[in-house]
Structure 1
Amino acid sequence: MKSELVAALYGTPGTITTGAIMVAAVMAAAAVLTGGDAVFGLMTAAMLAIGAFRQIAHRRFMRVDLPKASDAEIDRLERLAMFGAWSTAALVSSFGSYAVLKYTYQPVAVLAIAQTIGYLAGVSGRNSSRPLITRVQILIAAVPFLLALASTGDAAYVVIGLTVALTTVLTFSSAQVIHRMFVARLRTMRELETLAVNDTITSLYNRRGFMREIRAIATAGQPVTLISIDIDRFKGINDSFGHDVGDALLQSFGDMLSAELRRGDIAARTGGDEFMVATSRDAPEAATFARRLVMLLGSQRVLAGRHVTATASIGIAPAGCASSIDEALKCVDIALYRAKLEGRNRFAVYTEAIQDEHEDGRAIEAELREGIRRGEFSLEFQPIYNPRSGTATMAETLLRWNHPRRGVVSPEIFIPLAERTGLITVLGAWVLDQAIRTALTWPRSVGVSVNVSARQFDRGHDLVGLVAALLRLHGLEPHRLTIEITESSLIADAEHVTARLVALRALGVRIALDDFGTGYSSLSYLAHLPIDTIKIDQAFTQELGSSRKAEYLMNAITQLAHDLKLRLIVEGVETQEQLAIIQKHATHGIQGFVFARPMTAEKLLPMIGNRVATGRTKSARPGGGPRKGDRFSEVA
């Protein structure tokens, strides 16, 4: 605060210079009016010298970096300003007193009186940031002049003296009032400046403050590594627990981040759930730092009485990866995008290879939008056979993209991309519509299953309303439609997704839990999810025939499904040995290349009514279930 108050003493250098020249001119005029009084001449020279001294003091002030200046330097600047103000006051007072005493009844006395009273009237606003300077300045200027006026004994001068005394008292008292107003305004400005560059929740810099700091670092030619941190699925935390918990999480992370910074690091909350750090760390040190942040944020914490677990994705742009701060910010965004793409709760360091892949991804994203518009997508179906009857009871719907230039694009590429961009809701609606249409061409004993992405359960997308409308439009019996979900669909907002599943089931639609056996909490989901079917993942199926433990687990899962009255379907069956083992269990459906590969609706239709001779079926190539990525697995 003191540095800012002292800075105010030097806030009007032009006014000080102009004032010194004007006072010197009045003194010079007095010398002329008196026929060349040498005293007035000396006063004129002294006034010009004081003005020059104050200009030199101001130049010294301009060379000092106040925020970094020592207390001694600030005190020195204050003393210089003090000397300039008090010497000016003493000279003005001497001028007025000398003129009144020596030239009492001459015009020069009137000139001196006007000059002195004008100076006194203007003093209060000059140095209001330091009241001591102002008060001493007033006393130096007024007291000798008042004594001179009184000593003349002239009634008119006595009256003038009383007026000067009143002016002095008012100026003296108003100086403190003006000082209080000045300090209050200064505090308000400081608060506004703080709000302009600082985040109110975490007390870190905001984006504006962060950009100011890193641009200053770049201008100084210092290397800077940028680290971008994004709290994963923060919106779900806000929606599930409330904004008070969300704010508490942000504050907790801000405190944790501040505790991990080292000298010279700059941290900021640059967006809703986004943080940035600028550091001099090199790439290996930044990676170690990011790894620790991932670990610290991922630990469970109690916020506002709720147990909250959050994770973070982090991108790192090492110093020297770009020629400018703006380019470095793009690099760190690309690295953060890669960390999220790889599954969140991790960090990624920017490289040129990541840049190239990112640009290719952006190109595919544009092509995906165009592909939807041009109708480049199609469906394939893989039948699911009842092991007892040997006939197909259902077919799983698989989405394909036939790109005119790239050829067949893997679902591992375009499904995650569609989820990140939100285009999955458009594609998902089209898949549901086409799958229901196709199922109408099959016997009424055959149903169709459709994989649904986690994004299709977003609160802004009415999946239940869409399914109800399509069933009503096409006239398909609801029980012939099975909606397949994965555990990942439940991670962000399990309560909301469960409510949507209950509503779907109320329509008569069946619900299947896909990829059973690959997640960490499938058993807990079985206890409360409104599901009809569990599908054993092909990764588990591949172990059958080569692992006794897998067979024991298969026995346990079969018994569990029977006890819970759930239908059991096994995916990825590709060998006769696996088929033989599975046929020992009370499964309701078998899916895999041992029976049929995914095919178009036209090729599937003749096969639906045919029985399969399971004993004579030859094994097919590995990967008997739908290829990885066929499902709308959660990546967004």
Structure 2
Amino acid sequence: MALLEEQDALNEQLIAALYATRGPILVGSVTVTAVIAGAGILAGHDPVFYALAVLMAGLGVFRFETHRMYSRARISADIAFDAPRFERLAMIGAWATAALIAGFSCYALWRYPTQPVAVLAIAQSIGYLAGISGRNTSRPLITKIQVLISGIPFTIALLLTLEPAYILIALTVLLTTTLTFSSTQIIHQMFIARFRSMKELEILANRDALTNLDNRRALLFKLDHELASRKSLTLLSVDIDHFKVINDSFGHDVGDALLVSIGETLSSCLASGEMVARMGGDEFMIVTSCGTSEAIELARRVLARIGSQRRIKGRSITATVSVGIVLADRSMTVEEALKRADIALYKAKSDGRNHFAVYTAELSAEHDEHLAFEADMREAIRTGQFQLAYQPIYNPRSGSVTLVEALLRWEHPTRGHISPATFIPVAERTGLIRVLGAWTIETAARAALTWPRNVGVSVNVSARQFESDHDLVAVVAAILRRTGLQPRRLTLEITESTLIEDAPHIIDSLMRLRTMGVRIALDDFGTGYSSLSYLVKLPIDIIKIDKSFSHEIEVSRKVNALMAAITDLAHQLGLLIIVEGVETEPQLAAMRRFSLHGIQGFIFARPMWDDELLSIIKERVPSDRSKPASVGADPSTSAPRKRPKAASGSPR
């Protein structure tokens, strides 16, 4: 099929070459007509020459008009383009011209062999023969027959004069004819080679070199053409989830092989007439003429086929994609259609990835709100709207503070208090968590310098802070050098979900941090599926038991049994245990039955600003306390009492 399409395209180009010289055809016809008419005058008004001149003029008009018809047929969608017909018309015009010029030269040599008219005819014929090799060479057959029609009679006429000079000219014409035959074939071959080279360059310009799919340029051209012809299309924007992690973890050769594999899978999902292109990076775009409901079924098929595990260069890799769907029509530009596809894709990503979403006007408004929120966050970082609150962690035996957790807070000038559960995911998605994270660690470290030397500070870190292009270990080392805080007084908290991103790289970073003296805590322990295995694999110092254990410890025998097992295992592994979310006296009493190293919760203290913290740190909590400090709030999201004046300065 591809070969037939290439041959059709080549034939069209060959025929186009026949009609590429409308101007020279007109000039040539006028010139030859003038020469023949001039010969008639020189010959004493010979009517034969005048008749030949009239025929040449008519033939010139015919050839010029066929060129005009060809041009109109090529540019008009209303006129059917009949390539063979135009090729026949070109043949008729070329061969008729050759016959007329041959007739002119033969008659002149026969009737006036020794007069200036003969010289004029010879000059005209030789000039015509020489010019043939530069025209019509896209079709060698036309040129060769032209040469034969005009050259052979002319040569015979020269020889029949028996004039030595004319005989010499005849021999020269025969040599010229032979050379024209060979040069015609060479020029034709060069024409085809050039066409194929241009075709290859065109393919390269419209093909993705890695996946061999259409590229962004080809897709934009198709969309522009289809939408201009008033056709409605459905676009499916397909983006690989966590592709950067795969690239960083397994290497770019594996990443490239995965792109090729997913490109092949997408192609296998398509029906005839549908198109898939690689837009760049890890993004693909499917173009289909089917409606939204069929596009949804296609998206489900894509998710199912790509989501299965595959072998890539000897490795088992499970990759998923997110899909954004939009119906595009002539009412929108290509740029608007692509933007809407991106908005739908963004929604699919924010819904947890490995999903699809269909564009709606509501999605667009939601997207605009996300952009506004992101802009607010960038402004908050620039103007110092973020603050740190601190919640003490108490030793249940001594009643003294052993560690303080730093908690990021945002008081927006107009939005008010914004929960970390709202802004942290946005910061992670946009990469702003790197800036916020570094600022949090350094601010907390400087605050810890004002506390007693036996009290450390704990800071939560995100998986995005461990990415290979953001060296968290170097960031922490630089902060410790600038602040002078002893590494053992800094604890970094990670969650199980952090390790899902890139466990080998993150574990290596944690080991390097521990080598520096920084302590590592596994936060929200007990909420995942593989927590016990992480106790063995991870270079951690502290386990922070999730608050769900604290809330059920009074009533659940299973929770009590799990607490006993976890504390026993932790002690054998040399790990410290901290329990979060203790809010009531019964919860505290139940937790004290276990060998814990720290208790965190509202029963002792709520999150507070640094200027309130120092007096709390210096006080011991009585072991027989009977009244909680506060009950019922969530220590991870609750804001401290409103500060009289917000901290200023850029969080760097």
**Aligned letter for 2:39?**
A
List aligned pairs for 1:4-43, cutoff 5 A: 4-43=13-52
Where 1:190 maps in the other structure, the secondary structure is helix
Report the CA distance between 1:125 and its aligned residue.
2.2
Once residues 525 and 87 of structure 1 are traced to their aligned partners in structure 2, the CA distance between those partners, rounded to angstroms, is 91
Q: Which residue of 2 aligns with 1:626?
A: 636
Matched, 1:287 2:296: yes
SS at structure 1 position matched to 2:214? coil
Distance in structure 1 (CA, Å) of the matches to 2:342 and 2:73: 38
Partner residue, 1:391: 400
Counterpart residue identity of residue 496, structure 1: H
Distance in 2, matches of 1:203 and 1:418, equals 36
Paired with 1:13 and 1:100, the residues of 2 have a C-alpha distance of 31
SS of the aligned residue for 2:33 comes to helix
Give the aligned partner of residue 5 of structure 2: none
Offset at residue 490 of structure 1 (A): 3.1
Q: Structure 1 residues 321, 527: closer, same or farther in 2, change over 3 A?
A: farther
Shift of 1:482: 0.5
Judged with a 3 Å threshold, the aligned counterparts in structure 2 of structure 1 residues 361 and 34 are, in CA distance, closer, same or farther, namely same
CA distance in structure 1 between the partners assigned to 2:136 and 2:317 by the alignment: 55
Q: Which deviates more, 200-209 or 210-219?
A: 200-209
How big is each residue's C-alpha offset from its partner over 1:74-105, in whole Å with a ceiling of 9 and x where there is no partner? Answer: 33332232222222222222222222122211
Cα distance, 1:545 vs structure 2: 4.5
Any conservation in 1 of the 2:274–2:287 contact (CA below 8 Å)?
Answer: yes
507-516 vs 290-299, greater mean Cα deviation: 290-299
Who is 2:152 aligned against?
143
Residue aligning to 2:464: 455
CA contact (8 A) 2:106 2:153 kept: yes
Contact 1:415 1:629 in 2 (8 A): no
Is structure 2 residue 71 aligned with structure 1 residue 62?
A: yes
Checking the alignment, whether the CA contact within 8 Å between 1:576 and 1:619 is kept in structure 2 is: no
Choose which of 377, 383, 393 in structure 1 pairs with 2:386: 377
**1:425 alignment partner, one of 429, 434, 439:** 434
Q: 1:532 aligns with which of 538, 541, 564?
A: 541
Instruction: Report the CA distance shift for 1:572/1:11 in structure 2 as closer, same or farther (over 3 A).
Output: farther
Identify the match of residue 225 of structure 2 among 195, 216, 222.
216
Please name the residue that 1:171 is paired with: 180
Shift of 1:449: 0.6
Change (3 A) 1:320 1:147: closer
1:610 to 606, 614, 620: 620
TM-score, normalization: structure 2? 0.90
Unpaired runs of 5+ residues, structure 1, are 631-636
The one-letter code matched in structure 1 to 2:253 is D
**How far 1:54 moved relative to its partner?**
2.8
Rounded to whole Å, the distance in 2 between the matches of 1:460 and 1:612 is: 48
Per the alignment, residue 243 of structure 1 pairs with 252
Which amino acid counterpart does residue 237 of structure 1 have in structure 2?
Answer: I
Describe the superposition over 1:379-409 as per-residue Cα deviations: whole angstroms up to 9, x where unpaired: 1112222333333321211111122222222
Query: Structure 2 CA distance, aligned partners of 1:282 and 1:238?
Result: 35
1:415 aligned to 2:424?
yes
Task: Supply the AA of the counterpart residue of 1:495.
Answer: P
Change (3 A) 1:58 1:263: farther
Separation (CA, whole Å) in 2 of partners of 1:190 and 1:367: 50
Please state if 1:503 is matched with 2:515.
Answer: no
Which residue of 1 is the match for residue 447 of structure 2?
438
2:233 maps to amino acid: V
Structure 2, gaps ≥5 residues long? 1-9, 641-652
Instruction: Name 1:634's counterpart in structure 2.
Output: none
Does the 8 Å CA contact 1:3/1:67 hold for their aligned counterparts?
no
> Does the 8 Å contact 2:230/2:329 carry over to 1?
no
Are residues 614 and 129 of structure 1, via their aligned partners in 2, closer, same or farther at CA, if it must alter by over 3 Å?
A: farther
**Quick one: distance in 2 between partners of 1:149 and 1:354?**
86
Q: Paired residue for 1:104?
A: 113
Pick from 9, 12, 20: which aligns with 1:3? 12
Per-residue CA deviation, residues 598-635 of structure 1 (Å, 9 max, x unaligned), is 111222322223215566244955454413999xxxxx
> 1:536, 1:584 → 2: CA distance?
15
The 3-state SS of whatever aligns with 1:408 is strand
Task: Report the secondary structure of 1:616's partner residue.
Answer: coil
Deviates most, 270-279 or 357-366: 357-366
One-letter identity of the residue aligned with 1:14 = G
Aligned twin of 1:162: 171
State how far apart, in whole Å, the 2-side matches of 1:625 and 1:40 are. 110
Rounded Cα–Cα distance in structure 1 between residues aligned with 2:370 and 2:326: 19
Q: 1-side partners of 2:162 and 2:409: how far apart?
A: 111
SS in 1 for 2:280: coil
Which of 270, 290, 298 pairs up with 1:261? 270
Counterpart of 2:256, as a letter, is D
CA RMSD after TM alignment: 2.8
Distance across 2 between alignment mates of 1:164 and 1:321:
62
| Secondary structure, counterpart of 2:392 in structure 1 | strand
Equivalents in 1 of 2:426, 2:449: separation in Å? 31
Deviates more, 1:148-157 or 1:413-422: 413-422
Normalized against structure 1, the TM-score is what?
0.92
> Residue 132 of structure 1 aligns with which residue?
141
SS of 1:225's partner is strand
State which drifts further: 565-574 or 192-201. 565-574
- Looking at structure 1, the residues matched to 219 and 147 of structure 2 have their Cα atoms a distance apart, in angstroms, of 45
Query: Aligned with 1:221: secondary structure?
Result: coil
1:113 is the counterpart of 2:122? yes
CA contact (8 A) 1:317 1:332 kept: yes
> Which residue in the other structure is 2:485 paired with?
476
Q: Is the 8 A contact 1:282 1:319 kept in 2?
A: no
Q: Say if 1:88 and 1:578 are closer, same or farther in 2 by CA, change over 3 A.
A: farther
Quote how far apart the aligned CAs of 1:224 are.
2.0
Task: Say which is worse superposed, 618-627 or 366-375, in terms of deviation.
Answer: 618-627
| 1:515 alignment partner, SS class | strand
Q: Per-residue deviation at 1:233?
A: 2.5
Pairing 1:206–2:206 present? no
The alpha-carbon deviation at position 213 of structure 1 amounts to 0.7
Per-residue CA distance 1:538-568 (angstroms, 9 max, x = gap)? 3555454555544444444334323332222
Change (3 A) 1:543 1:258: farther
The alpha-carbon deviation at position 347 of structure 1 amounts to 2.1
Match of 1:598 among 607, 621, 642: 607
- State, as a whole percentage, how many aligned pairs show the same letter: 55
3-state SS in 2 of match to 1:201: coil
Q: What is the alpha-carbon distance in structure 1 between the residues aligned to residue 33 and residue 438 of structure 2?
A: 87
